[in-house]
Amino acid sequence: MDNHSNIITVSQLNSKAKQLLEVNFFNFWVQGEISGITQSSLEHYYFTLKDDKAQVSCALFKHQAKKLKFALKEGEEVQLSGKVTLYESRGSYQIVVEQIEAKGLGQLYAEYARLKEKLEKLGYFNPEIKKNIPPFPKKIGVITSASGAALRDILTTLKRRMSQIEVIIYPTMVQGKGSELQIANAINLANQRNEVEVLIVARGGGSLEDLWSFNEEIVVESIYQSKIPIISGVGHETDFTMADFAADLRAPTPTGAAELVSPNREELSKELNNYLYRLKHILLNRYTEASQRLDLLARLLIHPEQILQRQQQTLRHYNSLLKNTLSEKLNYQQLKLQQYLLILQKNRPEIGELKTELQQFKSNLMHEMQMLMYSKKNRLNTLSQLIEAVSPKKIQERGYSIVTDIDGNIVTSSKKLKNNQRLKINFIDGETKVIVDNQLELFN
């Protein structure tokens, strides 16, 4: 007898199983907790429906998802109906969801909410106690799985951004029973060693139960008591754990944590170049302004010889004015004398009276001339003293000196000097000869 006459292929088996499932399982409702929600680029939802003993895969396609009156949430308890179908190429079955109704949060999410409220009351999430993250750390500690993708992402990011930073890894389990103790112990060990400036606590994405170790109170307490600043990079951007709330800084992903803790070498280089450019620009502007101010002061500076020449011109002017005034006064008085003489001759006055009047007039004239001479002499003395005050000798007495060439010509500019040129420097008490060694150049 042939025992193998009813042999069928795997494809035939899966096909028959599919028919049985689709024919016998329809128009039913099943209740469970949502876990591991994902959404495809075509906006289809895929998730797991589970209870405390089993789980089943579910698919909610776009046209049905649009009918939802609530947002699907991790850990939420729901009731759904649909049809059971088998994916023949893999031999796995799933529920294609047609209707879904919310039945409240699942046990795990309820525990999450309860724990969050408790820890918040204990002050573990208080923003006022958050520590500052050092902007330029030299050593960074990483608490995560040694074989996980999170560690690779962190190391790759740190190497790209700032390869000089030393990384110390504290390997630990990040999922499963006992992982919360390892995470807490790793945080405590890092604080005991005190060898890093900041800690990254991280793991990749996952469902609520996958990330549950980071919700445990022992982990949150270790983060709260840590003297080293901690950055939490657990899960994906939409995942939130108690570790995120307790940490000094929360990053959306492990890669994000590495970016937050490390300065960007390229950005720092660009910023430094910008500062150098601004500094050069400021210094150039100040140099230009100082040069212009120096040129203005040089133009305003008057050489003592020029001052002396001006005072000499003023003295000559007053001397000439004095002579002209005396001459005019004398001529005027002589003219009056002639007039009196003519009158005397015409009227034949008494000689005695005329002599007395003439003598009085002469006396007055001499007095006026003496007073005028005395006034002009005082003015002349004042001007002489003024000229004497600005004379080269007086200027030299105040510490100035006069530089001339070997022929006695005054040197007014250093730009005209030649190397090895012979010069004379005149001081108040004598002169000395010098030779130009190097022509000097002024800097501001």
Instruction: Specify the CATH number for the domain of residue 229.
Output: 3.40.50.261
Q: ∠207-210-216 over CA atoms, to 5°?
A: 120
Q: The domain spanning residue 19 has which CATH number? A: 2.40.50.140
Band of the pLDDT at 243, cuts 50, 70, 90?
very high
- With a CB cutoff of 8 Å and minimum separation 6, the contacts of 152 are none
What is the distance between the alpha carbons of residues 39 and 35, in angstroms, rounded to a whole number?
13
Is residue 218, in this structure, part of any structural domain at all?
Answer: yes
Count CB neighbours of 259 within 10 A: 19
- 414 and 382 inside one domain: no
Predicted local confidence at residue 350, as pLDDT:
62
Listed residues 263, 295, 329: the one ending a domain = 263
- 117 and 221 inside one domain: yes
Lowest mean pLDDT among 23-32, 87-96, 156-165, 182-191: 23-32
- 85 and 23 inside one domain: yes
What is the distance between the alpha carbons of residues 180 and 245, in angstroms, rounded to a whole number?
16
- 145 and 258 inside one domain: yes
Higher pLDDT, 154 or 323: 154
**How large a percentage of the chain has pLDDT more than 70?**
94
Is residue 287, in this structure, part of any structural domain at all?
Answer: no
Inter-CA distances, 384 with 308, 388, 392, Å: 11, 6, 14
Burial zone of 43 (CB within 10 Å; 0-12 exposed, 13-18 middle, 19+ buried): exposed
For residue 376, give both structure tokens: 């002009």
DSSP 8-state code for residue 90: T
Contact yes or no for 402/392 (Cβ under 8 A): yes
Q: What would the mean pLDDT of 179-194 be, rounded to a whole number?
A: 94
- 314 and 187 inside one domain: no
Closest CA to 410 of 431, 394, 389, 438: 431
Burial zone of 420 (CB within 10 Å; 0-12 exposed, 13-18 middle, 19+ buried): exposed
Task: Work out the end-to-end distance of the chain between its first and last CA atoms, rounded to an integer number of angstroms.
Answer: 115
- 49 and 132 inside one domain: no
Q: Collapsing DSSP states into helix, strand and coil, what is residue 46?
A: strand
pLDDT tens-digit map of 323-354: 888 888 888 888 888 888 888 777 765 667 76
Is residue 417, in this structure, part of any structural domain at all?
Answer: yes
Report, in this order, helix, strand and coil percent for the chain, each rounded to 5: 50, 20, 30
Is residue 282, in this structure, part of any structural domain at all?
Answer: no
**Residue range of the domain that includes 408:** 401-435
- 77 and 138 inside one domain: no
- 172 and 240 inside one domain: yes
- In the chain, the largest separation of any two C-alpha atoms, in whole Å, equals 199
pTM, 2 dp: 0.46
Listed residues 244, 263, 282: the one ending a domain = 263
Lowest mean pLDDT among 43-52, 94-103, 123-132: 94-103
432 pLDDT above the threshold of 70: yes
Band of the pLDDT at 315, cuts 50, 70, 90?
confident
Is residue 278, in this structure, part of any structural domain at all?
Answer: no
Predicted local confidence at residue 444, as pLDDT:
34
- 143 and 92 inside one domain: no
- 387 and 407 inside one domain: no
- With a CB cutoff of 8 Å and minimum separation 6, the contacts of 173 are 145, 179, 182, 183, 213
Is residue 203, in this structure, part of any structural domain at all?
Answer: yes
Closest CA to 131 of 242, 230, 252: 230
Is residue 280, in this structure, part of any structural domain at all?
Answer: no
pLDDT, mean over the chain: 85
183 pLDDT above the threshold of 60: yes
Is residue 414, in this structure, part of any structural domain at all?
Answer: yes
- 247 and 125 inside one domain: yes
What is the distance between the alpha carbons of residues 142 and 139, in angstroms, rounded to a whole number?
10
Listed residues 43, 74, 105: the one ending a domain = 105
Cα-Cα-Cα-Cα torsion 405, 411, 413, 417, nearest 10 degrees, comes to 0
Contact yes or no for 88/21 (Cβ under 8 A): no
The number of folded domains in the chain is 4
- 68 and 121 inside one domain: no
